[in-house]
Amino acid sequence: MTATDASAFSTVTPIGAAVRRKEDHRFLTGKGRYTDDFSRPGQTFAYFLRSPHAHAAIRSIDVSAARAMPGVVDILTGADLAEDKIGDLICGWMIHSKDGSPMKMGSHPALAKGKVRYVGDHVAVVIAESLHQAKDAAAAIAVDYEELPVAAGLATAQEAGAPQLHDIAPRNTAFEWELGDRAATEAAFAKAVRVVSLDLVNNRLAPNAMEPRAAIGEYDAGDEAYTLWTTTQNPHVARLVLSAFVGIAPEHKLRVIAPDVGGGFGSKIFLYAEETVCAWASKRVGRPVKWTAERSESFLSDAHGRDHLTHAELALDAGGRILGFRVHTRANMGAYLSTFASSIPTYLYGTLLSGQYDMPAIYCEVDAVYTNTAPVDAYRGAGRPEATFLVERIMEKAARELGEDPAEFRRKNFITKFPHQTPVILNYDTGDYAASLDKAMQMADIAGFPARKAEAARRGRLRGIGYSAYIEACGLAPSSAVGSLGAGVGLWESAEVRVNPTGNVEVLTGSHSHGQGHETTFAQLVSARLGIPIDQVTIVHGDTDKVQFGMGTYGSRSGAVGMSAIVKALDKVEAKARKIAAYLLEASEGDIEFKDGKFTVAGTDRAVPFAEVALGAYTAHKFPTSEIEPGLKEGAFYDPINFTFPAGCHICEVEVDPETGVTDIVKFTAVDDFGVVINPMIVEGQVHGGIAQGIGQALLEGVTYDSDGQLVTGSYMDYTMPRADDVPRFDVGLTETRCTTNPLGIKGCGEAGAIAAPAAVINAMTDALGTEDVPMPATPATVWRICEAQAAARRAAE
Amino acid sequence: MYSFHYRRPTALNEALAVLHADSEAKMLAGGQTLIPTLKQRLAQPTALVDLSRIAGLSGIQKTAEGVTIGAMTHHADVARSPIVREVIPALADLAGQIGDAAVRNRGTLGGSLANNDPTADYPAAVLALNAVVSTDHRSIPADAYFQGLFETALEEGEIIVAVEFPQVDKAAYAKFRNPASRYAMAGVFVAKTAAEVRVAVTGAGQSGVFLWEEAGDVLASDFSPAAVDKLALDPSDLMSDLHGSAEYRAQLVKVMTKRAVASIA
Ligand SMILES: Cc1cc2nc3c(=O)[nH]c(=O)nc-3n(C[C@H](O)[C@H](O)[C@H](O)COP(=O)(O)OP(=O)(O)OC[C@H]3O[C@@H](n4cnc5c(N)ncnc54)[C@H](O)[C@@H]3O)c2cc1C
């Protein structure tokens, strides 16, 4: 950074200013420190022997030859886990089936015990002096597998006679959940004038964080304490699970450090086998144990996202108003229930099925199904993209069947009065859906679309336009509410504001930044509030020994919940500083005003700057310490009283080349209501990234397993990650209704793009192609097949 | 990666001596194919013989017949060579469409041809232009060089030294990229001389690059996209995978052929 750039951070930064990201200098100059950048004295390297089979019984594992190989320190298997009484990995959200029975959680050991259930499942770990020696030895481990029939497909895994993954879960069904009022919904359908139905596949995605997962476990025999450096979005939650459930060590003997983390998108929320094993094994071998995933291991073993099969029906009255919505979804859980897997297709999905619409009755059933594939859990949006895709696809289809304009059909059904109680738990506090729709329509030049379509047709291209009026529930989440729904944790957030004697500030937050820019946004908030330059504020996060217990970052919660905790702590700091300032100014506390970083006696020019009050707090010379404690450091826990509800309207315009099936996104408009925006540049970046992932889901990405459960898309040769030239320029705009339930009025922006974009793109594609049946990813080959089938039908008709 | 010896000879016969003495030794050019293969432990050579310091293996020369390009010449150098741009601009276009900038800065013509990946770009140009692959001891015409998936006429330890590309009246390359890998799904190189039109197709064939002779024949009498329109490529010898069926590839070959012709007709 040049001197001029640095000076940009030496000013007070108001809320709403597009401050450049403080952390980018570190990242862009290679000074970031990621887990793999750390080396511990005497460290060893772990390599995981993974199952080559999707489903097999392990008859025996013979490690004797491997043990004798050069450099091998130890080789551990499930039997060693059992010997040390290490518990299984768990799923922390209890879901009950319709019949009241608890979900059927199949045993999920960190190293296989007798059976492997997906390609990439962990069979043994080799710990050696070097990674190459570990790999050499792993190749010498003799595993006697008895291959079992494979249940690879979601569509057939529940059938009688399908191979069973877990004895505890007949028909491979973890739970059969329901939400909403079945009778009321049946009644709504009984009086419907028209029923629109739709079958959808929501394709499975690989998360693909830029930094692969990694871990270093270290045991200090003197303190009898462990340290685990790992790529996690929520270090305290990782520690809690490792301690309370897996039983590695008591919480106070386990330090989890998440240093710089290069992207997560949900995939780093969960506690995986690898970091568990690195922590545990470090004591067994008496040396630090390091593991870093190779990209192919990421494809195999990072929890995937989405993967639903859904049938839905929408009941409409004669005027085209929605009477009821009925949904049956089968959600693929993969081979085991990952840390939060059960909550994703249930409380983060079914609760969003009302969309932006006034739906009097909703009934949703979800079957969670085990298959011989990698576990599926939260991925950017987590349940909410699946809900939006369904709602917005069926709304588009309904408008077409009714012959109504898709925008006006939506508008007619919008919720316009707030607060609004949906039939699926959520209570929307505020919103103005028509405002976002109108602004998006104007920016997208809807009026000019017919002319553009005609012009494209003259060039032999098919143009289409599609809407996605999405809503999401963010700011996870009111603790008692999620507790009553089965969550094993509360979803509040914590903050501590430490003002130093010289007036600069450290904020310890339970949120965790892995690309979101918290070091800037959070500091911006403090700068604006205390009137001190942003470079006087440091955000501390990601270390359980430094930071008080916190819940971490996911579900667009860090702004709405994490920053609210900071606001609460700042309130306390200010209150105390006011008292101290009153003594310093020899005035009564009621006369003190705090503005622009100065405490002033109202109506006078007598003032002390914030830094002087900070110093005064620590010298403690000028106030009675029997009344006011010395120091200036305050903590707060903030528990939200409601979810927040970001919403907006995205419009996508595509042009399809029927000769090759190539889809060109010619225009993408996104108008979002995120409530109050702290840093518009960071928000815009989040929108861009989210849309890129949404376009990826719609046109490019899809995890594919073959019928033997082998991963076909195991590298970037076959898994299509969006590249810069796959995405168009984004026209983004904002509308604003303040969130009414948190102090800053923030709703959250981290997932909106990924939630909204797939439906916008596919609605545009279905419009262009004149068929509702456009699967994701709509690759050129798929689109061409559709065009060809249509051409063949036309030829047959002639 | 398994361990191996590393050699960096400065003369061709030095390299040949190592390769002939040890059939498990492998040449290393740009490493863009070989290094990933080694990292995945899919190959275990005893030694790598780095060709980068051997004098005379890289460079671009204008000749009476066309242009000669050294085996160790990087894709990026071909893409921006004024000589190639002047003599066979389509070849420079092709080189500029290989992989990404990093790959083009390391990958070489010789490495690409020795590897003969069925989805690589250069084989289409070499075959359509009827180029000659010259090695340490002979010259191999393109028609004899490509022998199937990753198969070539090269003998064990035979080093490609250069490729002689003849100038033609007109040439163009049209590439349809695999969305994931960005290698060719259908790469069509059309080369027109007074005597004939050669249409070489990469990315689509089950046994690698091939000449679409039917297209060459019709284009020889009517060099227009419309002439290609009437043709249908038989998909039975084409690849079918996650990214597209054989029928789709047949369609892409036809469309890319038309587009290549349209760009120079
Ligand atoms: C991300 C990525 C994308 C790519 N995209 C494309 C693409 O779009 N199109 C495309 O065509 N290619 C693509 N490639 C491949 C690239 O063009 C490589 O450069 C090429 O395949 C191999 O050339 P190399 O110089 O790297 O050879 P190396 O990898 O060093 O060697 C490859 C093989 O050739 C042998 N060899 C090398 N030189 C000689 C020689 N002079 N004589 C005899 N044998 C020799 C080696 O022993 C080895 O077996 C891509 C590669 C990567 C990594």
Closest CA to A285 of A43, A38, A36: A43
* Residues A284, A431: Cα–Cα separation, whole Å: 55
Tell me, what CATH number does B184's domain have? Answer: 3.30.390.50
pLDDT of residue A1: 36
CA distance A411 to A394: 15
The yes or no reply on domain A43-201+297-413 and CATH 3.30.365.10 is yes
Please give the span between the terminal C-alpha atoms of chain A, in angstroms, as a whole number: 68
Here the tokens at position A213 are 């997962």
Tell whether A789 is within 8 A of chain B (Cβ).
no
> Which residues from A are below 8 Å from B179, CB to CB?
700, 720, 779-780
Tell me the per-residue pLDDT of A112-137, one tens digit each, with 9 for 90 and over: 999 999 999 999 999 999 999 999 99
State mean pLDDT over A497-503.
98
What is the DSSP code string of A130-151? SHHHHHHHHHT-EEEEEE----
Burial classification of residue A504, based on how many CB atoms lie within 10 Å of its CB (0-12 exposed, 13-18 middle, 19 or more buried): middle
pLDDT tens digits for range A645-684: 999 999 999 999 999 999 999 999 999 999 999 999 999 9
Among A690, A673, A700, smallest CA distance to A754 is for: A690
Q: Give the percent of chain A with pLDDT over 90.
A: 98
What residue of A is the nearest CA neighbor of B186? A660
Shared-domain flag, residues B119 and B205: no
Q: Round to whole Å and give the CA distance between A217 and A221.
A: 13
Q: How far apart are CA B102 and CA A550, in angstroms?
A: 42
Is residue B14 domain-resident?
Answer: yes
- Region of A675 (left: φ > 0; alpha: ψ -120 to 50; beta: rest) is left
The verdict on B185 and B156 lying in the same domain is no
pLDDT of residue A5: 52
| A490 contacts A476 by C-beta, under 8 angstroms | no
Report DSSP letters for B158-199, one per residue: --EEEEEEEP-SEEEEEEEE-TTT-SEEEEEEEEE-SS-EEE
Question: What's the Rg (C-alpha) of chain A?
Answer: 28
pLDDT at A480: 93
CB-based contact B54:B194 (threshold 8 Å): no
Neighbours of A771 (CB within 10 A): 13
Average pLDDT over residues A380-402: 98
Kindly state whether residues B64 and B149 are assigned to the same domain. Answer: yes
Q: Which strands, in side-by-side order, build the sheet including A56-62?
A: A115-116, A56-62, A142-147
**Cβ A760 vs Cβ A385: under 8 Å:** no
A340-A346-A347 Cα angle (round to 5): 80
Kindly state the average pLDDT of the residues A166-187. 98
Is pLDDT of A511 > 70?
Answer: yes
Closest atom of ligand 1 to B158 CA is 43
CA–CA gap between residue B260 and residue A95 (Å, rounded): 58
Confidence of residue A9 (pLDDT cuts 50, 70, 90): confident
SS (H, E, C) A326-388: EEEEEEEEECCCCCCHHHCCCCCCHHHCCCCECCCEEEEEEEEEECCCCCECCCCCCCHHHHH
Enclosing domain of residue B111: 60-166
Backbone dihedral angles phi then psi of residue A411, each to the nearest 5 degrees = -55, -45
A659, A704, A716 ranked by CB distance to B242: nearest? A704
Instruction: Pull the structure tokens for residue B233.
Output: 């490529």
**Searching chain A, which residue's CA lies closest to the CA of residue B179?**
A720
Low-confidence ranges of chain B (pLDDT < 50): none
CA distance A266 to A471: 19
Residue A206 C-alpha from the chain's centroid: 13
* Contacting residues for A720 by C-beta, under 8 A, at least 6 apart: A696, A700, A701, A702, A777, A779, B179, B180
Residue A125 phi/psi, 5-degree rounding, is -120, 135
Q: Specify whether the CB–CB gap between B248 and B264 falls below 8 A.
A: no
Q: Domain total for chain B?
A: 3
- Report the pLDDT value the prediction gives residue A8, as an integer from 0 to 100: 67
Domain assignment of residue B211, yes or no = yes
Asked if A402 contacts A379 with a C-beta cutoff of 8 angstroms, the reply is: no
Query: Strand, helix or coil at B104?
Result: helix
What's the one-letter identity of residue B120?
Answer: A
What are the chain A neighbours of B244 within 8 Å (beta carbons)? 779-781
Neighbours of A272 (CB within 10 A): 25
Interatomic CA distance for residues A655 and A461, integer angstroms? 6
The number of beta carbons lying within 10 Å of the beta carbon of residue A637 is 18
Whether residues B158 and B71 share a domain: the answer is: yes
CA separation for the pair B229, B225 (Å, rounded): 6
Say yes or no for a CB contact (<8 Å) between B181 and A719.
Answer: no
From the list A346, A311, A380, A196, the residue with the least C-alpha distance to A758 is: A380
Does pLDDT of A538 surpass 90? yes
CB atoms within 10 A of CB A592: 21
Cα distance between residue A182 and residue A462, in whole Å: 41
Select from B188, B179, B167 the least CA-distant residue to B254. Answer: B188
With both helix axes pointing from N to C terminus, report the angle between A563-585 and A518-530 in degrees, rounded to the nearest 10.
Answer: 30
Q: Which of B41, B179, B252 sits opposite A720 (nearest CB)?
A: B179
pLDDT at A2: 40
B207 DSSP β-pair partners: none
As a whole number of angstroms, the distance between CA A467 and CA A764 comes to 7
Tell me, yes or no, whether B10 and B82 share the same domain. no
At residue A738, what are phi and psi to the nearest 5 degrees? -65, 135
C-alpha A398/C-alpha A180 separation (Å) is: 22
- The reply to whether residue A779 touches residue B252, judged by beta carbons under 8 angstroms, is no
Q: By alpha-carbon position, which residue is closest to atom 23 of ligand 1? A: B111
Domain A426-470+644-798 matching CATH 3.30.365.10: the answer reads: yes
Cα gap A336→A328, rounded to integer Å = 22
Which residue from B72, B103, B161 has its CB within 8 A of the most atoms of ligand 1, so it is best to mutate?
A: B103
> Rounded to a whole number, what is the distance in Å from the CA of A146 to chain B's nearest CA?
26
Q: Of the candidates B120, B137, B166, which is a domain's last residue?
A: B166
Domain membership flag for residue B55: no
- Indicate the average pLDDT of chain A: 97
Are A433 and A357 a contacting pair, CB within 8 Å? Answer: no
Domain with CATH 3.30.365.10 in chain A: 43-201+297-413, 210-296, 426-470+644-798, 492-638
Amino acid at A75: I
Atom of ligand 1 nearest to the CA of B34: 29
Nearest to A781, CA basis, from A792, A789, A772, A771: A789
CA distance A54 to chain B (A): 20
- B23 and B65, same structural domain? no
Is residue B81 included in any domain, yes or no? yes
For residues B121 and B201, state if they share a domain: no
- A67 pLDDT exceeds 70? yes
B contact test, residue of A717, A721, A727, A787 with most B CBs within 10 A: A717
CATH class of A210-296: alpha beta
| Shared-domain flag, residues B78 and B39 | no
Residues B109 and B132 in one domain: yes
Which overall architecture, per CATH, does domain A492-638 show? Answer: 2-Layer Sandwich (3.30)
Q: Give the span between the Cα atoms of A474 and A560, in whole angstroms.
A: 8
Q: Are A304 and A344 in contact (CB under 8 A)?
A: no
Chain B residues touching residue A132 (CB < 8 angstroms): 1-3
d(CA A395, CA A196): 9
One-letter amino acid for residue A22 of the chain: K
Provide residues with CB under 6 Å of ligand 1. B 26-34, 51, 71, 98-99, 103, 107-108, 110-112, 114-115, 117, 120-122, 159-160, 182-183
Are B99 and B180 contained in the same domain?
A: no
Same-domain pairing of B128 and B71: yes
Residues B248, A785: C-beta atoms closer than 8 Å = yes
Single out the residue in B128, B149, B166 at which a domain terminates.
B166
Per the CB < 8 Å rule, is A659 touching B251? yes
Longest dimension (CA), chain B: 57
C-alpha angle with apex A478: A472 to A482, nearest 5 degrees? Answer: 85
- Picking from A755, A542, A554, the residue whose alpha carbon sits closest to that of residue A648 is A755
Whether the CB-CB separation of A437 and A649 falls below 8 Å is answered with: yes
Closest chain A CA to residue B256 = A660
The CATH number that applies at residue B15 is 3.30.43.10
Residue A10, pLDDT above cutoff 90: no
Q: Is pLDDT at A3 greater than 80 in this prediction?
A: no
SS3 B8: coil
ipTM, 2 dp? 0.95
Q: Are residues B79 and B22 in the same domain?
A: no
Reported as a pLDDT band with limits 50, 70 and 90, residue A798 is confident
Q: Give residue B117's pLDDT.
A: 98
Cβ-defined contacts of A537-540 (< 8 Å, 24+) = A537/A504, A537/A505, A537/A506, A537/A507, A538/A504, A538/A505, A538/A506, A538/A507, A539/A506, A539/A507, A539/A509, A539/A513, A540/A506, A540/A507, A540/A508, A540/A509
Instruction: Indicate which residue's Cα is closest to atom 50 of ligand 1.
Output: B99
Exposure string for A671-682, b = 16+ CB within 10 A, e = fewer = bbbbbbbbbeeb
For residue A7, the model assigns a pLDDT of: 60
Identify the burial level of A458 via C-beta atoms within 10 angstroms of its C-beta, where 0-12 means exposed, 13-18 middle and 19 or more buried: exposed
As a whole number of angstroms, the distance between CA A158 and CA A151 comes to 9
The percent of residues in chain A predicted with pLDDT above 70, rounded, is 99
CA atoms within 13 A on the CB side of A259: 17
- Distance (Å) from the C-alpha of residue A699 to the closest C-alpha of chain B? 10
Q: How far is the centre of ligand 1, averaged over its atoms, from the C-alpha of B78 (Å)? A: 15
